[in-house]
């Protein structure tokens, strides 16, 4: 367990070889709980390194469990199978995770992510009819709901594709009562909760033959997404998708409206980015992000988030270890600089009190040590104080760089959208909804 904790420390810092080395060999199979925890840690380390075949061997060997950790393990197995080229096996696993029946918030979020990943994969492969039922399973107010709605609209416009067969995984039971019904005294219950799943082909939506009807479905879905509050990239993309499709359908007046919405959203986002940049280099970030709480010592926690929409723009960076490490360095320098200043004052007061006269200094051997100690600390403090601005710049620069990259992307997108709107105005005006 200590090895797992050390491995987790390295893992969170992105040092995956050191994490794997610290984790060490697997515990014996008789210690089931420790073995499962080891398998989870080992699989995560291998997946992070892209070593899919090694991760598959670990995940396939793990005993299925009907709890949150077990479903996370099974989800990781599905991801590893797809990434390794065993696509139908991996999608079958993800489909099973996506059918979890639970009221637990964490399991529901995992179920949404499994359905989103599987549905997005089928969409990319031109299997729109298979993608739709999976994407429709994602909750309409979960963390993945906006992305699912955006993909769902495109799925209605994608080729229907052909039936996709679920894959035999070797743990299915096709006859007899399901294992979970055998929880009676004296029964030997098989823990493999996945045996009850059927091997029917993936469910397919019945796509209307008329392109106009399918477009109506897509526009309706995107319209719901476009009505949601910003900031969210998917909301902006929904407005653009509606505008483009209405433009192509000849509904120029409605297209003009959605192009205008998209342009307004992009302009607002660029303005918000300017405010976010000012926030990062101003007093707001010092109060919310950078400064440690009083009396916390070596403080590593992120106590406050930036205001919206800055928090949305910076959420990937704030959650990553590099930011946490740079934040810790900066806070440590601030704390040590303050402590050195206080220590100098205390030592100077002590020297005045106990070594202020020649007789007192002669009678106290420590008085000979105080001047060189004060000189050493006095030389160290300016060096530390000079390093603080550099540490602050190292903390701010990656955040500002991420905002600059978003600004470049949105500026190009704004130019393209304005050009599309100008071209629309050059066409004969009519509004005939599809």
- pLDDT value of residue 24: 92
Tokens at 410, concatenated? 């949105």
Q: Which long-range contacts (CB under 8 A, 24 or more apart) does 32-38 make?
A: 32/63, 34/1, 36/62, 36/63, 36/65, 36/69, 36/73, 37/1, 37/4, 38/4
Q: Which of 231, 220, 260, 228 is nearest to 243 (CA)?
A: 260
- pLDDT value of residue 174: 52
Tokens at 133, concatenated? 């039922």
Instruction: Indicate the average pLDDT of the chain.
Output: 85
Q: Say yes or no to pLDDT of 430 above 80.
A: no
pLDDT band at 286 (very low <50, low <70, confident <90, very high): confident
- pLDDT value of residue 192: 47
Cα angle 179, 184, 190 (rounded to 5 degrees) comes to 30
Q: Say yes or no to pLDDT of 193 above 50.
A: no
In the block, which residue shows the tokens 């949305």?
Answer: 312
pTM over 0.75: yes
Task: List, for residues 301-316, the tens digit of each pLDDT value.
Answer: 888 889 989 999 998 8
8 A C-beta contact, residue 245 and residue 218: yes
- pLDDT value of residue 283: 87
Q: Which of 6, 39, 10 is nearest to 25 (CA)?
A: 39
**Rounded mean pLDDT, 346-374:** 74
CA 332 – CA 330 distance, rounded (Å): 5
Packing angle between helix 105-124 and helix 128-136, nearest 10 degrees?
170
- HEC profile for 163-204? CCCCCCCCCCCCCCCCHHHHCCCCCCCCCCHHHHCCCCCCCC
Within 8 A by CB and 6+ apart from 113, the residues are 75, 144
Task: List, for residues 81-120, the tens digit of each pLDDT value.
Answer: 999 888 988 999 999 899 888 888 999 999 999 999 999 9
pLDDT band at 359 (very low <50, low <70, confident <90, very high): low
Task: List, for residues 194-215, the tens digit of each pLDDT value.
Answer: 444 556 788 998 887 778 889 9
CA 145 – CA 129 distance, rounded (Å): 19
């Amino acid at each position: 367990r200590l090895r797992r904790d050390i491995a987790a420390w390295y893992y969170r810092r992105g040092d995956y070889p050191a994490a794997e080395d610290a984790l060490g060999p697997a515990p014996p199979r008789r210690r089931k709980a420790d073995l499962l925890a080891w398998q989870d840690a080992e699989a995560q380390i291998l997946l992070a390194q892209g070593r899919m075949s090694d991760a598959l061997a670990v995940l396939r060997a793990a005993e299925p469990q009907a709890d949150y950790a077990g479903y996370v393990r099974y989800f990781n197995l599905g991801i590893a199978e797809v990434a390794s080229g065993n696509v139908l096996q991996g999608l079958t696993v993800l489909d099973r995770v996506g059918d979890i029946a639970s009221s637990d918030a964490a399991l529901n979020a995992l179920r949404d992510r499994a359905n989103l990943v599987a549905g997005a994969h089928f969409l990319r492969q031109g299997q729109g009819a298979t993608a739709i039922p999976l994407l429709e399973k994602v909750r309409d107010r979960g963390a993945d709901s906006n992305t699912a709605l955006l993909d769902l609209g495109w799925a209605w416009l994608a080729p229907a594709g052909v039936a996709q067969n679920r894959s035999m995984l070797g743990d299915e039971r096709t006859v007899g009562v399901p294992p979970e019904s055998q929880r009676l005294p004296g029964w030997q219950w098989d823990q493999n909760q996945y045996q009850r799943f059927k091997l029917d082909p993936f469910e397919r939506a019945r796509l209307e033959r008329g392109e106009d009807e399918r477009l109506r479905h897509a526009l309706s879905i995107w319209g719901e997404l476009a009505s949601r509050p910003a900031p969210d990239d998917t909301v902006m993309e929904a407005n653009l998708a509606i505008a483009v499709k209405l433009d192509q359908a000849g509904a120029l007046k409605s297209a003009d409206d959605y192009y205008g919405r998209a342009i307004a959203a992009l302009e607002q986002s660029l303005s918000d980015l300017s405010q976010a940049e000012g926030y990062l280099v101003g007093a707001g970030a010092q109060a919310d992000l950078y400064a440690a709480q009083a009396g916390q010592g070596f403080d590593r926690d992120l106590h406050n988030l930036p205001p919206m929409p800055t928090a949305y723009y910076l959420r990937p960076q704030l959650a990553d270890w590099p930011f946490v490490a740079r934040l810790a360095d900066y806070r440590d320098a601030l704390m040590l600089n303050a402590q050195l200043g206080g220590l100098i004052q205390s030592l100077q007061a002590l020297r005045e009190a106990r070594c202020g006269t020649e007789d007192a200094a002669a009678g106290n051997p420590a008085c000979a040590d105080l001047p060189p100690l004060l000189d050493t600390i006095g030389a160290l403090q300016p060096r530390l104080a000079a390093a603080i601005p550099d540490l602050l710049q190292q903390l701010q620069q990656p955040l500002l760089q991420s905002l600059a990259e978003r600004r470049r992307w949105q500026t190009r997108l704004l130019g393209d959208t304005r050009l599309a709107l100008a071209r629309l105005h050059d066409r004969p005006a009519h509004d005939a909804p599809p």
